[in-house]
């Protein structure tokens, strides 16, 4: 167990994020202190010792700013205040102080692509005339067709349906439409308007002044749209594949709405702001880009520090696919000198034990993939509840809240956002006070998966994560950045991923039968070895 350090004793390691394990907290679903069924900031603060004991370095908290909660906080109406649902500004300060006292860094979410439609800027824009400075902060355009009844272009919202909504006036529909790449309650800002950049610089400074260690930049590949706002070129087949969909699947070949060159000027500006606050503040981009090369552009030396690498998460259960991701990732970030990142689960995707087939086998695979990830150079992002082995929940339609569910009729992302089970034999499992009702029901079967039930059981997923993170600190942090993939045909066969990093050898068995492990002392495994053999769906580190 790590010793608590005071804020002043925190190492002033400028590049702490280069090898950090960052734990993502989805604020609604982590811990509910006041019993309203929704997680909140004091709840997070009270559970920080769990994260310290788990052995992570930092916590990333999803948006807790003022918001109508149409996309659970990714629709911000005031970037400089805490939503009353989650607490007050003082609670954010208390959380930061407590985290720092426990030796944990804090990364907050920044949502620059769009605001909420309840943001004062958008309310003013709707009240103002077409062509006014108020409307110029967003992307308003005249509709197509004789009566302007068609959207200005053919873009689709990531959450399904057209990316444009027609403005209603006192006498009915007007000629003007506004752009929203996500829900209609999330109007896109016009980053070509300098007021927008100035506003976000103020927001960055507001939170840096309060002591945050970094930012996770939402939809970092958005912000700028091709100035022409031309139609997207798409084949019928691509469209078919694109919708309705999970967000990750919407990367089509022609993207006038994403990843425009102008966006990089924004990150150069932000990098300068972060630098003013000292070298240990950081930013990580959520950028769903087309290629590893385009991802690497976000982490050039004068831009952001990291970008999520979704290729690990998107890879199928295949040693060959994992090997390609490792090689491709390291090759992409090396030329710009950035540290790679890895992630298997977050609040937007199906939890990884379920992606790998669910049940015992899905969990075994998930643990094996996690252990392999933790051996790689760079930082790893974990999502709350994965340390308990939680699976995706099939949320009943009446409890679904994801805007994409309302726009497409597809189940959406609520199933990975079910409140965390901490203790006890029945809901709310310590998520909130006894008798409170979590905003999405927790499965009764989670009684066996609470942190309390797993604590001290060496076979549990929780104890496995603790062990893996402790062993990572001991053996991986000084193992260097070089990774050598071992030839799969050199004894193991192509269903086995084997790699060497410094003194460590890591073997992941994606095949159907047990395999012999190379020489060395096993320091951690994702499941029991059998008579010295590595069973299927298992990974081991050897020294």
**Backbone torsions φ then ψ of 283, nearest 5 degrees:** -145, 140
Helices first, then strands: H and E counts in the chain: 14, 20
SS3 491: coil
Report the distance separating Cα 415 and Cα 412, nearest Å: 8
Q: Choose which of 38, 395, 440, 524 interacts with Mg ion (CB under 5 A).
A: 38
Is residue 218 annotated as a catalytic residue, yes or no? yes
SS3 468: helix
Beta-bridge partners for 267: none
CB of 422 to Mg ion, least distance (A): 14
What is the Cα gyration radius of the chain?
23
Interface with ligand BGC, residue 71, by CB under 6 A:
yes
Could you give the string, one character per residue 200-219, with x where binding to ligand BGC holds by CB under 6 A and - elsewhere? ------------------xx
Q: Which residue has the tokens 């200005």?
A: 152
Report the distance separating Cα 454 and Cα 63, nearest Å: 29
Query: Which residue minimizes CB distance to ligand BGC?
Result: 74
Q: Choose which of 91, 188, 286, 305 interacts with ligand BGC (CB under 6 A).
A: 286
Report DSSP state, residue 304. -
User: Which residue, 50 or 501, is less far from Mg ion as judged by CB?
Assistant: 50
- As given in the structure block, the two tokens for residue 452 are 């309390």
CB of 442 to Mg ion, least distance (A): 15
Q: Choose which of 2, 5, 10, 34 interacts with Mg ion (CB under 5 A).
A: 34
Question: Which is nearest to 420 in space by CA: 386, 397, 454?
Answer: 386
C-alpha torsion sign, points 457, 370, 218, 216: positive
Partner whose binding site includes residue 348, from ligand BGC, Mg ion, none (CB under 5 to 8 Å by kind):
ligand BGC
Partner whose binding site includes residue 471, from ligand BGC, Mg ion, none (CB under 5 to 8 Å by kind):
none
Measure Cα distances from 292 to 287, 389, 416, 446 in Å.
11, 30, 27, 38
Q: Environment class of residue 408 by beta-carbon count within 10 Å: exposed (0-12), middle (13-18) or buried (19+)?
A: middle
Q: Choose which of 348, 386, 387, 414 interacts with ligand BGC (CB under 6 A).
A: 348
User: Which residue, 204 or 343, is less far from ligand BGC as judged by CB?
Assistant: 343
Measure Cα distances from 195 to 38, 124, 202 in Å.
34, 14, 11
User: Which residue, 34 or 481, is less far from Mg ion as judged by CB?
Assistant: 34
Partner whose binding site includes residue 286, from ligand BGC, Mg ion, none (CB under 5 to 8 Å by kind):
ligand BGC
Question: Among 147, 240, 276, 398, which one carries the catalytic annotation?
Answer: 276
User: Which residue, 182 or 383, is less far from ligand BGC as judged by CB?
Assistant: 182
Question: Among 71, 91, 117, 218, which one carries the catalytic annotation?
Answer: 218
H/E run at residue 382: strand 379-383
Q: Choose which of 32, 71, 83, 190 interacts with Mg ion (CB under 5 A).
A: 32
CB of 114 to ligand BGC, least distance (A): 7
CB of 502 to ligand BGC, least distance (A): 34
Beta strand pairing call for 21-25 and 58-61? parallel
Interface with ligand BGC, residue 182, by CB under 6 A:
yes
Interface with ligand BGC, residue 111, by CB under 6 A:
yes
Report the distance separating Cα 182 and Cα 348, nearest Å: 13
Q: Kindly state the number of chain residues that form the binding site for Mg ion, as judged by CB under 5 A.
A: 5
Partner whose binding site includes residue 34, from Mg ion, ligand BGC, none (CB under 5 to 8 Å by kind):
Mg ion
Q: Choose which of 16, 30, 40, 351 interacts with Mg ion (CB under 5 A).
A: 40
Could you give the string, one character per residue 161-180, with x where binding to ligand BGC holds by CB under 6 A and - elsewhere? --------------------
DSSP E strand boundaries for 136-243: 140-142, 164-169, 172-179, 214-217
**Backbone torsions φ then ψ of 319, nearest 5 degrees:** -60, -40
Partner whose binding site includes residue 36, from Mg ion, ligand BGC, none (CB under 5 to 8 Å by kind):
Mg ion
Partner whose binding site includes residue 74, from Mg ion, ligand BGC, none (CB under 5 to 8 Å by kind):
ligand BGC
Is residue 276 annotated as a catalytic residue, yes or no? yes
User: Which residue, 40 or 156, is less far from Mg ion as judged by CB?
Assistant: 40
CB of 263 to ligand BGC, least distance (A): 15
Interface with ligand BGC, residue 74, by CB under 6 A:
yes
CB of 295 to ligand BGC, least distance (A): 15
User: Which residue, 40 or 286, is less far from ligand BGC as judged by CB?
Assistant: 286
Residue 306 and residue 285 in contact, taking contact as beta carbons nearer than 8 Å? yes
- Cα(first)–Cα(last) distance of the chain, in Å? 22
Q: Kindly state the number of chain residues that form the binding site for ligand BGC, as judged by CB under 6 A.
A: 9
The CB density around residue 55, as the number of other CB atoms within 10 Å, is 20
Partner whose binding site includes residue 32, from Mg ion, ligand BGC, none (CB under 5 to 8 Å by kind):
Mg ion
SS3 292: helix
Cα atoms in the 13 Å half-sphere on the side-chain side of 200: 26
Question: Which is nearest to 468 in space by CA: 540, 393, 361, 366?
Answer: 540
Catalytic residues: 218, 276
Query: Would you tell me which residues interact with Mg ion (CB under 5 A)?
Result: 32, 34, 36, 38, 40
Query: Would you tell me which residues interact with ligand BGC (CB under 6 A)?
Result: 71, 74, 111, 182, 218-219, 286, 347-348
């Amino acid at each position: 167990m790590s010793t608590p350090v005071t804020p002043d004793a925190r190492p002033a390691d400028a590049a702490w994020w280069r090898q950090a394990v960052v734990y993502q907290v989805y604020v609604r679903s982590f811990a509910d202190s006041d019993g309203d069924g929704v997680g909140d900031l004091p709840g997070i603060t009270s559970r920080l010792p769990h994260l310290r004991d788990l052995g992570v370095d930092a916590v990333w908290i999803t948006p807790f700013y003022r918001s109508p909660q149409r996309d659970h906080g990714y629709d911000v109406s005031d970037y400089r205040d805490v939503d009353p649902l989650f607490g007050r500004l003082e609670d954010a300060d208390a959380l930061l102080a407590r985290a720092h006292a426990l030796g944990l860094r804090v990364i907050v979410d920044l949502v620059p692509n769009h605001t909420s439609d309840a943001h004062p800027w958008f309310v003013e824009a709707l009240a103002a005339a077409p062509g006014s400075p108020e409307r110029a902060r967003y992307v308003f355009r005249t509709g197509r067709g004789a009566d302007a009844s068609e959207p200005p272009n053919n873009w689709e919202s990531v959450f399904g349906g057209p990316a444009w909504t027609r403005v209603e006036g006192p006498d009915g529909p007007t000629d003007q439409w506004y752009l929203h790449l996500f829900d209609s309650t999330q109007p896109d800002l016009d980053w070509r308007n300098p007021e927008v950049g100035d506003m976000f610089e103020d927001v960055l400074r507001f939170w840096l002044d309060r002591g945050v260690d970094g930012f996770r930049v939402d939809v970092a590949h958005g912000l700028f749209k091709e100035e022409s706002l031309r139609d997207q070129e798409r084949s019928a087949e691509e469209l078919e594949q694109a919708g309705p969909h999970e967000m990750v699947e919407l990367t089509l070949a022609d993207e006038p709405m994403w990843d425009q060159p102008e966006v990089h000027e924004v990150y150069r500006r932000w990098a300068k702001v972060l630098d003013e606050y000292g070298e240990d503040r950081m930013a990580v981009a959520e950028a769903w880009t087309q290629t590893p090369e385009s991802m690497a552009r976000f982490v050039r030396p004068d831009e952001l520090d990291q970008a999520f690498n979704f290729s690990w998460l998107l890879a199928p259960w295949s040693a060959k696919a994992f090997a390609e991701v490792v090689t491709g990732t390291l090759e992409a970030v090396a030329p710009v000198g950035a540290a790679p990142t890895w992630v298997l689960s977050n609040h937007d995707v199906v939890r990884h034990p379920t992606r790998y087939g669910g049940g015992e086998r899905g969990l075994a695979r998930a643990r094996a993939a996690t252990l392999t990830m933790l051996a790689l150079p760079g930082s790893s992002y974990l999502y709350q509840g994965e340390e308990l082995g939680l699976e995706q929940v099939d949320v009943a339609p009446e409890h679904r809240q994801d805007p994409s569910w309302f726009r497409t009729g597809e189940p959406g992302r609520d199933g990975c956002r079910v409140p965390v089970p901490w203790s006890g034999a029945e809901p709310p499992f310590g998520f909130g006070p006894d008798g409170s009702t979590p905003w999405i029901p927790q499965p009764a079967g989670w009684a066996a998966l609470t942190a309390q039930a797993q604590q001290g059981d060496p076979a549990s997923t929780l104890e496995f994560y603790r062990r893996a993170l402790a062993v990572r600190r001991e053996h991986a942090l000084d193992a260097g950045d070089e990774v050598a993939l071992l030839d799969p045909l050199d004894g193991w066969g192509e269903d086995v991923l084997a790699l060497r990093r410094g003194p460590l050898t890591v073997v992941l068995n994606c095949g159907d039968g047990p395999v012999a492990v190379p020489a060395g002392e096993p320091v951690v495994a994702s499941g029991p070895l059998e008579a010295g053999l590595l069973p299927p769906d298992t990974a081991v580190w050897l020294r």
